[in-house]
Structures are given as C-alpha cells and as structure tokens.
A and B are shown apart, each in its own frame.
Chain A
Amino acid sequence: MSLELLSHRHRIADEGDAIDFCFRQNWSDGLPVVPPTEARVAKMLEAARLAPDKVIGFIPEREITITAEKVAINAVLAGCKPEYMPVVVAAVEGICDPAWAYHGPSTTTSGPAVLIIVNGPIARELDINSGENLFGPGWRSNLTIGRAVRLVMRNVCGSMPGILDRSTHGHPGKLSYVIAENELESPWTPLHVDRGFKAEQSTVTVLAADGPRQIFSQLAPTTEGVLTLMADDMRISGGVIGQTHYVVLLAGEHMEMVVRDGWTKRDVKRFLFENTMNTYAHLRRTHRFPMPIKPGDETRIRPLVSNEDMFFILPAGGTAGAFSSYIPGWAKESWSRMVTKEVVR
C-alpha cells in the first residue's frame, strides 16, 4: 500500500492567487474551489482509510481508472469535510458500475444529473438534508458531496461541458443533486432496505436523472386524490418515450395523508402504474413515436414504465405544504440502471 501522492504538483508563489489558479487550470465547475494542498488531500484519504492508489472505479469505454487520490483531490476542491469522503467514494463507485453505464448518461444531449440518495445512519451523522428545501440551498453535505462527484466526472473522466458532456440544457442538479430519505418519520422500509441492505448499513444510491418536478395538491382529501393529480402530471413527462425509472418524493402533508389512509408502498406503485398509461396513437400523434398511426393504436396501451417497481417511493421534503415531487430517470431503464453501494468506513 503506497501512501505517496503521485499527482502532478503545481507551485504557486502567491497563496492568495490559489483559487484563481484553479479557475485558470479549468478545474472548477464555475464556483470557487478549495485549493487542493497535500495536507487537505491526506486528511480526506485518512477519513476514508484509503491508500491513494486504491482503485475506486474503472470505466471501460474510456479506459479510465479512478484512484482514491483523484477522488480525494476533487473532494477537497468541492469543499467537502473529510468525513464526507466515504460517501463520495461510494457514489463514484456507483457511477463506475457497469449497470450505471457511465458514457451514456454523462455525455448525452438529454442532460441528466447524478441523483444521489443517501440512506442509513451516515445520512444523520453528516446532516444530509431530507426535509425542507430538500434540493437546497443550506446544507454543506448535500451541496459538496454531489459537487465532488461532478468534479471527478469533469476532471478525471473528461466530462467537460460542451465537449464530452453535450447536455442541451442540463439542469441545476448537475452542480450537486444529493438528498437523504426521511427514514425517521417513515412508516415504510427505506430505499436501501428495499434494495437488499440492512437498515443499520449506510448506502448511496445513484440514478441518472432529470430535474425534480413539483406537484401541488391542496384540495384532494385522500391519498387517491393526491396520486390522481400526480399521475395525471406524470403521464406525459420526461421519461415517457423510453420507459425509465421514477423517484417519487412524498413530502409532509401528503405523507401524513398516506399514513392515515394506510397505503403501502406497493399500493402507491400500483396506483401510479395503472394511472399513467398512454395510447400508442397519442404518442405517435405528438411525435414521441414515429408516425403513422397504425390500426389498433387508439386503444393499444403503453405504460409509462416497464413495471410498477420502476417507481421508487420515498418520504422526503418539508413537513408544511401540499407539495410532493417526482424525478424521471434518464432515457430507458436498461440503458442506465439505479445502483446502490454501501458506504464503507
């Protein structure tokens, strides 16, 4: 195990110029960065108990090996506390997983970000927000962990905007897109338990995802009413062409109603699946599918997702307000799958 840091070193005479130097080197996402000195990088590696040459991931379609040293340097740039490093590492492992399939979602014109969902005890320990202002601002952990992952993508994997990241629009989640699930107030098993981990384990789940779409339902008196409104909004939404994943985030007032009405996660998934169908004729008429309309297309049904388990239901968001959100995944579920990795400490 080598403890030597092998990255190229840049000497700067004027310490006050260090941040601007990083900008000039094109290392930044547009915001000021923390200059990556050896002492800061070493602390980052120590916190995760990683040797600098430890391989965190390999991306075959770019022949890229990502070492702990490069992850640590970018975590410093992003402004992470050292104790965030294991979460950053798990997220980088996630986007290097063949199931996530790095090249497509990172390069595509359709512009998804890396949605990072943190579960288990570490989410509370690091104060990763699962409540009000779920998507920020205000939480250092939420904003710097995702930023560190993006900087690894930019600086190590070559995902430079306009070059190997060709997002037509992209969305603000591409700066950082980290949330936690509100596990403490949930009546259900959390996401990581549904995905095969123990409740006491900490995990990071990554999904190539569009931006969040908020729905407002103040008038519906029941869960069915809230979900009817949500399904109506979802039916023609980001993932309709490809059949992708959807993360559904039920916030306080809606979640209270769901608990009161005794709906299970399965009930929610099934309702959404059954109420987000389109006809082939509509998808052709609106140029989502190729024309012309064929016999039977007026009644031939295409579900929004391939099966009801492509809806991932999580309680998260503020306690006040009749709002919830959903997040469409990228393209088609088989092109880039949701991946969950354990946070190793």
Chain B
Amino acid sequence: MIELLDPTREIGSGHMVYALRPSSLKGKTVGLIENTKYNSDRLLEMIGQILIDDYGVAKTKLYHKHYSSVPAHEEIITDVRKTCDFMIAGVGDCGSCSSGSVLDGILLEKEKIPSASIITHVFVNTGRAMAKQWAVPDYKFLVMQHPIANIPEDELLAKARAIVPEIVELLLAAPEAKAAA
C-alpha cells in the first residue's frame, strides 16, 4: 500500500449566473471589447453596425484591450458597467486571446451586463477550459469559423452577418432561462 498526494488544484464546479436580460436591443448602448488581434476591431464594428441598422441599437462603444492575452482592464470594465447595456467581446482567434475573450464575458456577466463572447472554432476547448478554471464550466460563448486575421472585407462581413442572430439570442435570453422555458 502506498499513499500519494494529489498535485492538482481542486476546482469547484458551479453554474454561470447570467445577468438579467432586457426584452429588446432598441435604444440600447452596446460595448464592443476588441482584443487587438488583426481584424477583430473591424469585425466587431461590422457587428455593431448590423445591430444598429437591423435591431434598433442606439449606439456602440468600441474598447481596445491592452493586448490580446489579458482580460479587459479595469477602466474598460468600469466604463462598460456605467455606460453600456450590453457587451460583445472578441474575436479570439488565438489560444491566449480566445480564453481572454471568454473571460471578458464571464467578468461582465458578473457585473450584471448581458454579454456575448466570440471565439473561433479551433479554440473551443481552450474557451471551455477557461470557463472551467472559473468554476463555470457551462458558461455559453459563441463560435465562428477560424480564421479572421487574413480574410478580405467581404468575407469578414459575411461572418459578422452570420453570427449576429446568435449574438442577439444570447444577449436577450440567458441560457438557463431558455432551458427552463
């Protein structure tokens, strides 16, 4: 008989508590937290414009992170909390920035801001692992096809158009509420 000590960190397993969702985007302000990776600002601006044109959003505010691999810094979190009704983060198209964008969503939901984090499909397991690290393994984030950095403007716009309905759905109905309905 031998007894071994476990070298790993014990992580709790809770459920994500989402912010309360308004019933509509009309007249609202949407914060866009771009992660500084090439084209992520353009993509979020396109998404913001579609939300203004098609869903009645009043305005968007674009925030730039210090760099792609860190969570949004305190000034961004504070300003979004004070001045925005919704938040969209992305677009993670690398390992550290995908999980960073997922974290932005988790942090803003904790601040009671309905949020949507977007990453690209090759980093789904990394985004999920970040949610697990924060003991919210069921946290819902959105996924678009990789890559975004080296594609032309029209393809970028097509990706923006394709993901907007998912963003709207997530911003207006928290996943648990939907499951309960």
Contacts and interface: CB of A to CB of B under 8 A. Distances in A.
Check if A and B associate.
Answer: yes
Interface of A: 5, 7-13, 15, 18, 21-22, 25, 27, 35-38, 41, 61-64, 69-70, 73-74, 77, 101, 103-109, 151, 155-158, 160, 162-167, 290, 332, 334-335
Given A164-B130, A290-B38, A101 B70 contact: yes
B129 A36 contact: no
Nearest to A101: B70
B60 interface: no
Contacts of B151: none
B178 interface: no
A163 B98 CA distance: 11
B2 interface: yes
Interface stretch (B4-12, B21-29, B156-164, B167-175): B4-12
Contacts of A61: 70-71, 100, 103
B69 interface: yes
B134 A155 contact: no
A254 to B, nearest CB: 35
B49 interface: no
A105 B95 CA distance: 10
Most buried by A among B5, B96, B99, B130: B5
Contacts of B68: 104
Contacts of A8: 5-6, 10
Among A157, A163, A290, the one with the most B-chain Cβ atoms within 10 Å of its Cβ is A163
Interface residues of B, number: 30
14 contacts: A7-B7, A10-B6, A15-B1, A36-B5, A37-B5, A63-B134, A73-B6, A101-B70, A107-B95, A107-B96, A107-B99, A163-B129, A164-B99, A166-B94
B1 A11 contact: yes
B100 to A, nearest CB: 7
Contacts of A156: 7-9
Contacts of B83: none
Contacts of B5: 5, 7-10, 36-38, 41, 69, 73
Nearest to A17: B2
Contacts of A18: 2, 4
A22 B4 CA distance: 9
A27 B69 contact: no
B95 A21 contact: no
Given A62-B133, A63-B134, A166-B126, 12 more contacts: A18-B2, A25-B6, A27-B8, A61-B71, A61-B103, A64-B133, A109-B94, A156-B8, A158-B133, A164-B95, A164-B99, A290-B38
A15 B2 contact: yes
Nearest to A111: B95
Contacts of A5: 5
Nearest to B11: A158
B13 interface: no
B3 A10 contact: yes
Contacts of A21: 4
A20 to B, nearest CB: 12
Contact of A104 (B7, B9, B70, B123): B70
Contacts of A106: 96
Contact of A11 (B3, B70, B96, B103): B3
Given A63-B133, A103-B99, A108-B94, A37 B3 contact: yes
